[in-house]
Chain A
Amino acid sequence: MATAVPPPSKRQRTDAANKAREQQDVEEIPADAGSLRLQFFDETTGLPIGQGPVIVPVADANPKNLELLLNTLQGHDSTEFIPYRFTLPVTDKKNAEPVITAFPTNIWNALIRPGLISTEEVQSISAAPQAVFRVQAVSRCASTIPGHGEAILAIQFSPKSSSRMVSGSGDNTARIWDCDTGTAVHTLRGHTSWVLAVSWSPDDERIATGSMDNTVRIWDPKTGKQIGSPMTGHRKWATSLAWEPYHVQKLGEPRLASASKDATVRIWSTNQQKIEMVLSGHKSCVSCVKWGGVGLIYTGSHDKTIKVWSARDGILLHSLNSHAHWINHLALSTDFVIRTAYHDHTGKVPDSEEAKVAKANERFLKAATIQGKVVERLVSASDDFTMYLWEPANGTKPIARMLGHQKQVNHVTFSPDSLSIASSSFDNHTKLWNARDGKFINTLRGHVAPVYQCAFSPDSRLLVTGSKDTTLKVWDMRTHKLSVDLPGHMDEVYAVDWSPDGQKVGSGGKDKAVRVWRH
């Protein structure tokens, strides 16, 4: 007697029923629905695309067709088609204010039939170019790696691949992990107090760690040995580290900037472990330092100012004084390309040094060029519940002030395509902002405790947030809804990072275990 196939499980049955219901719900768009007049705008610049509006039949107006249309309008070759995300302003029924919504698949049912938009008017559609590759949302915990003896305070993935990650901990060590197998590779011993900041150099050759014991150390990620001697000079602990961007480095002589509680920023030559410059001018703890790709260093401090320094000679260029309280964090529109230098989503690394620099430079220019100008934008998060968007090269006036958070804003990031900004705050919410003009887009609600950090996926389609409530949450940037909830940590999540190739998310916190999440 043959074994009978077991009956479908309840899950399978409900799935099938749901699918059947969904298929029933698909409604035809009537043939006489008319046509829409669409005017496309480029989201990066805000300028119109093409000459005047385009007429599209309502039946054919779905994002896929619009993508095709827009690519043809711009004369792209079929091999280099770019995916786009379309949004349009729709008047809200309640307060009669336009709300930016994603372009629906069935515009007839979603917007025209309810009377939200009309076919009589020209619709202005803003098109945001998307990454050609797609990152899948992380959904499970691939490995929980114990090893650290104390809370994990900082985490960063290698710019080269998602298989290596470094974490700094309260047990005075930093560790390098192999994320494919979930094992420890090297333990970086030497610090005599907590490791507060870790940073992988853009060429994947060195790791810098900053610690509570006032020193900064450089390590070789391949051998796990310390390079040279500890870099002493700070009088208080190091809070933040920034490597010199690869395309502006003198070949083989990378420099490192470290911010400290002692109100100074020191620029180190990492080969000799010597101080090259001391940027002093802040009056209080420097909370964040960023090294921009156009020869500027940005520092934010607890003395309420952001200072912009020349990276060449350490001269103070601007002081941006709009905030009313501590600056907690800074983010650059070019952060992602500076961090990854010549490592892109294809995983191909140029052979020669010159080709590497050329590629890094090309990637930087591509990311930073808006309307033919190289523009590096800066956003600052502060304890005064607000954020400011700056263009430091153009003077000390902010572009926009971003209001809306109800508690201190702790962390802020630019999306890798530098089209949106995510800010996480102690008021349990993450908010999204338009990076061009600082307009509010949406609030991501879901955490029940302060959100400490957030990280974009490299294709900017997803965002992961880590919170005091012990969970990570992955958010979809198109619908602005929760995509995946990732419980698993036993205690507060202090650090979270998305690998530059998009495969994995690493997180660590008070429960002393590093967790790696993947699809």
Chain B
Amino acid sequence: MERWRKLHGRRLDYEERTRKREAREGHKESNKAQSLLGLRAKLYHKKRHHEKIQMKKQIKALEERSLKSSTPAEPSTTPLPQYLLDRSNPTNAKALSSAIKNKRNEKAAKFSVPLPRVRGIAEEEIFKVVKTGKKTAKKGWKRMITKPTFVGPDFTRRPVKYERFIRPMGLRYKKANVTHPELGVTVHLPIISVKKNPQNPMYTQLGVLTKGTIIEVNVSELGLVTSAGKVVWGRWAQISNNCEQDGCVNAILLV
């Protein structure tokens, strides 16, 4: 066919016929879409569905391209002064800070926490009675904490004889993965202290980390500042996972 075409050229009415065929295409497709039945209809419509998606995407891309040529694209969504425009600024932390401030203005938000109620944990679950050794076994007042704990950096153990609560080294945590709820930014931050364990005030003292515990985390590396221009370093967060099951501490920043 190709050789014949090269030798003799196309039919004289070739252009006319292709034009008409293309013009008929739409009608033909629509007729098919209306009249096909059964499996053929199913296959046909699936194909058409995909085609339409591709077409819409293409149209959108074209529109965007033409938009760009008329007005310049702003380099970022937040307005920046001229001297910050071409710099790659780490904006996460600052966005974090302003979102926190906006939220704080609503007074009611102060006392709401992401996890308002927690599962009660019995003392038997948290404390394991230590019965090693001759004397200890007799008295039975030594307890091992079976949950993860936060132990401050300046903690020194008491003499073994007097030590009532043992917080195992393997279950101690120093850092938490803290998420900002609105921005979806997660940062690995050092824990400063345990502020409130809802189970029992004693657990707060012992630094037990369970789901729903309020902890204070060190946000100084984010570079937040107060309205008076001081660096903010401690901010509260609530633990959102079962740390003893997951092997990590995940928390949500309270904003």
Contact = CB atoms under 8 A, between A and B. Distances in A.
A485 interface: yes
A488 interface: yes
A452 B78 contact: no
B46 interface: no
A487 B74 CA distance: 31
B94 A492 contact: yes
A266 to B, nearest CB: 16
Interface stretch (B185-193, B197-205, B224-232): B224-232
Contact of B230 (A302, A329, A448): A448
Contact of A170 (B78, B83, B98, B230): B78
B71 A154 contact: no
A191 B74 CA distance: 14
B82 interface: yes
Contacts of A448: 225, 229-231
Interface string A31-49: 0000000000000000000
A494 B81 contact: yes
Interface in B67-102: 71-72, 74, 78-86, 94, 97-98, 101
Contacts of B229: 447-449, 467, 469-471, 485, 487
Residue from the set A169, A197, A452, A491 with the largest chain B CB neighbour count within 10 Å: A491
Given A471-B228, A489-B227, A239 B82 contact: yes
Contacts of A471: 228-229
B168 interface: no
Contacts of A140: none
A257 interface: no
Report the contact-size class of chain B (Cβ under 8 Å from the partner): 20 to 34
Given A302-B86, A470-B225, A192 B71 contact: yes
Contacts of B227: 470, 487-490
Contact of A287 (B82, B94, B231): B82
Contact of B83 (A411, A447, A469, A489): A411
A120 to B, nearest CB: 47
A495 interface: yes
B239 to A, nearest CB: 30
Interface in A469-519: 469-471, 485, 487-492, 494-495, 510
Contacts of A154: 81-82
A452 B87 CA distance: 13
Contacts of A187: none
A299 interface: no
A212 B80 CA distance: 10
Interface in A338-397: none
B72 A213 contact: yes
B247 interface: no
B227 to A, nearest CB: 6
B140 interface: no
A170 B79 contact: yes
Most buried by A among B74, B78, B98, B229: B229
Nearest to A326: B86
Interface string B89-125: 0000010011001000000000000000000000000
A193 B83 contact: no
A503 B83 CA distance: 27
B223 interface: yes
B101 A193 contact: no
Contacts of A236: 72
Contacts of B74: 193-194, 212
Contacts of A491: 94, 97-98, 101
A452 B101 contact: no
Interface in B212-232: 223, 225-231
22 contacts: A151-B79, A153-B81, A154-B81, A170-B80, A194-B79, A197-B82, A213-B72, A236-B72, A237-B72, A239-B82, A239-B85, A261-B85, A411-B83, A448-B225, A470-B225, A470-B227, A470-B229, A487-B229, A488-B227, A490-B101, A492-B94, A495-B81
Interface of B: 71-72, 74, 78-86, 94, 97-98, 101, 223, 225-231
Interface of A: 150-151, 153-154, 169-171, 192-194, 196-197, 212-214, 236-237, 239-240, 261, 285, 287, 302, 328-329, 410-411, 447-449, 452, 467-471, 485, 487-492, 494-495, 510
